[in-house]
Amino acid sequence: MARAVRFARTLVYCDGVQVAVARDELGQLYLSMLVQRTEEGDTYLSVPITVDRLRLLQSGGLDLREALEKPEVQEWFTMGVSGEEGSQVMNPVAAVADKWLPEPGLFLTEFVEEADRLAGVVEESTKKGKAIVHLRLSPPEAAERLQIGVHHLSQALATYQELVKHAYLQALQELTATTQDENADRYLLEVFAFSQGSFTVHMHSKLDADMFGEVELVQALEKVDELTEDVQDTERALQTAKENSGHLVAAYKRFLHFIAETGSTVEYNWSSPSRGARHREISVSQASILYERLQSQRELAEERVTLRGVFVRANVESGTWAVRDDAGRHRTGRIAAGSDVSLSGVVLDTQRYELECIERIEETGDGGLTSGLELKVLRPL
């Protein structure tokens, strides 16, 4: 039976629509590929496709030939198109002609050239004199039409910003052995645009590059790259996580959980005036597998923290304490179990000390994080 459809989304465009998604009046989706071009018009081969299978196709988990040759519902249609606007009519065919099928191993991801993918982020970085990040989201609701849930959008931006924040603080600690300089301007991102035709969020660093093209945010972005470099290799990714345990891994887990829970493949590109462009992509399956492995590693929830400052409270009996560090922040904690550290004789307010602590980070029931400091080593300065 013939069916009326409209093009809902273009997947590949080159001198016209090559591959697209069409939708009928009942909301059924169809994968449509150009198979013949004549003076009278274009002919497309179409097959029914579900949202899940479409996402698999777009992420590179399914090649174009298999999607057309072996659809979930064994139905094939041809569609003559003389214009891209308005409703088109699909007519059923008994079988698909082999000459219409692409070669095996042709994936949609191959149509996106690396240079084309990164050109925009490099151009914006040069023009603005800032570090630029493009974060591309592909939640299930965006597979059928250009739309995204407000909650999904806010979640994505919040979890990515949190990841960048702790990546910056981790990079700073590796350089200075402290995290006292936590100026938020150095790691904050600001949204300034969206790409047309997709949910790609354009963000830039709050601070401009210096005269040498350096932006401090790059330290955070390179640290995020370090975490995501081996996302397809769970064991190597796990080893990298162990080298960055604590708040950074906790933030990374929340980002992976967002991808796995929402079913949204995530890509990001970034560039700065002094760096070449970088690209990463995390699929739903990769995020799900790695998240579960990270969840099972309790030691990843521990981070070494060094504090320098003065005690404002020291309870010898309970082993609890409070310190005002050199940056003026108040930190509280307790003596670690099994430690021989004693608070007896600690001088309040005037004597500076160095405290080596373990910070244990735990997830709360509402998806938040809580942490506590356990004192392992105490030295007067």
17 vs 266, residue with greater confidence: 266
Q: Note the helical H segments in 146-216.
A: 150-176
Per-residue confidence (pLDDT) for residue 69, from 0 to 100: 92
How far apart (Å, rounded) are the C-alpha atoms in residues 97 and 65? 12
Query: For residues 44-61, b (16+ Cβ closer than 10 Å) or e, as one string?
Result: bbbbbbeeebbbbbbbee
Average pLDDT over residues 139-151: 68
Whether the per-residue pLDDT at 48 is higher than 90: the answer is yes
Per-residue confidence (pLDDT) for residue 98, from 0 to 100: 87
How far apart (Å, rounded) are the C-alpha atoms in residues 17 and 70? 22
DSSP code per residue over 34-85: EEEE-SS-EEEEEEEE-HHHHHHHHTTSS-HHHHHHS-SS--EEEEEES-SS
| CB-based contacts of 274, cutoff 8 Å, min separation 6 | 209, 212, 213, 214, 215, 218
Per-residue confidence (pLDDT) for residue 217, from 0 to 100: 92
How far apart (Å, rounded) are the C-alpha atoms in residues 16 and 10? 10
- Count other Cβ atoms within 10 Å, centred on residue 7: 20
Per-residue confidence (pLDDT) for residue 365, from 0 to 100: 54
Q: Give the residue among 356, 345, 349, 361 at the shortest CA–CA distance from 378.
A: 356
Per-residue confidence (pLDDT) for residue 151, from 0 to 100: 84
Could you give the percent of the chain with pLDDT greater than 90?
26
224 vs 317, residue with greater confidence: 224
- Count other Cβ atoms within 10 Å, centred on residue 275: 17
Per-residue confidence (pLDDT) for residue 226, from 0 to 100: 93
71 vs 1, residue with greater confidence: 71
Q: How confident is the model at residue 58 (pLDDT cuts 50, 70, 90)?
A: confident
Whether the per-residue pLDDT at 133 is higher than 90: the answer is yes
> Considering only 149-158, 341-350, 365-374, which range has the smallest mean pLDDT?
365-374
- Count other Cβ atoms within 10 Å, centred on residue 292: 13
For the domain made up of 302-380, give the CATH fold: OB fold (Dihydrolipoamide Acetyltransferase, E2P) (2.40.50)
Kind plus residue range of the DSSP H or E element containing 375? strand 369-380
> Considering only 33-37, 276-280, 309-313, which range has the smallest mean pLDDT?
276-280
Average pLDDT over residues 164-191: 79
Domain definitions of the chain by residue range: 3-110, 113-296, 302-380
Average pLDDT over residues 185-189: 90
Q: Give the residue among 73, 10, 1 at the shortest CA–CA distance from 44.
A: 10
DSSP 266: E
Q: Note the helical H segments in the chain.
A: 51-58, 64-69, 114-128, 141-144, 150-176, 217-228, 234-242, 247-262, 284-295
Whether the per-residue pLDDT at 161 is higher than 90: the answer is yes
Q: How confident is the model at residue 171 (pLDDT cuts 50, 70, 90)?
A: confident
Per-residue confidence (pLDDT) for residue 146, from 0 to 100: 62
119 vs 355, residue with greater confidence: 355
- Count other Cβ atoms within 10 Å, centred on residue 254: 20
8 Å CB contact between 84 and 249: no
Average pLDDT over residues 334-361: 87
Per-residue confidence (pLDDT) for residue 88, from 0 to 100: 83
> Considering only 83-97, 251-265, 328-342, 343-357, which range has the smallest mean pLDDT?
83-97
Q: How confident is the model at residue 360 (pLDDT cuts 50, 70, 90)?
A: confident
Query: Could you give phi then psi for residue 323, rounded to 5 degrees?
Result: -130, 140
Per-residue confidence (pLDDT) for residue 186, from 0 to 100: 87
Per-residue confidence (pLDDT) for residue 182, from 0 to 100: 64
Could you give the percent of the chain with pLDDT greater than 70?
89
How far apart (Å, rounded) are the C-alpha atoms in residues 362 and 303? 12
Place of tokens 């591959």: 19
8 Å CB contact between 133 and 203: yes
> Considering only 127-136, 168-177, 359-368, which range has the smallest mean pLDDT?
359-368
8 Å CB contact between 247 and 170: yes
Q: Are strands 3-13 and 17-24 parallel, antiparallel or unpaired?
A: antiparallel
Whether the per-residue pLDDT at 298 is higher than 90: the answer is no
DSSP, collapsed to helix, strand or coil, labels residue 238 as helix
8 Å CB contact between 30 and 90: yes
Q: Cα–Cα distances in Å, from 106 out to 19, 68, 111?
A: 12, 12, 9
- Count other Cβ atoms within 10 Å, centred on residue 226: 16
Per-residue confidence (pLDDT) for residue 202, from 0 to 100: 93
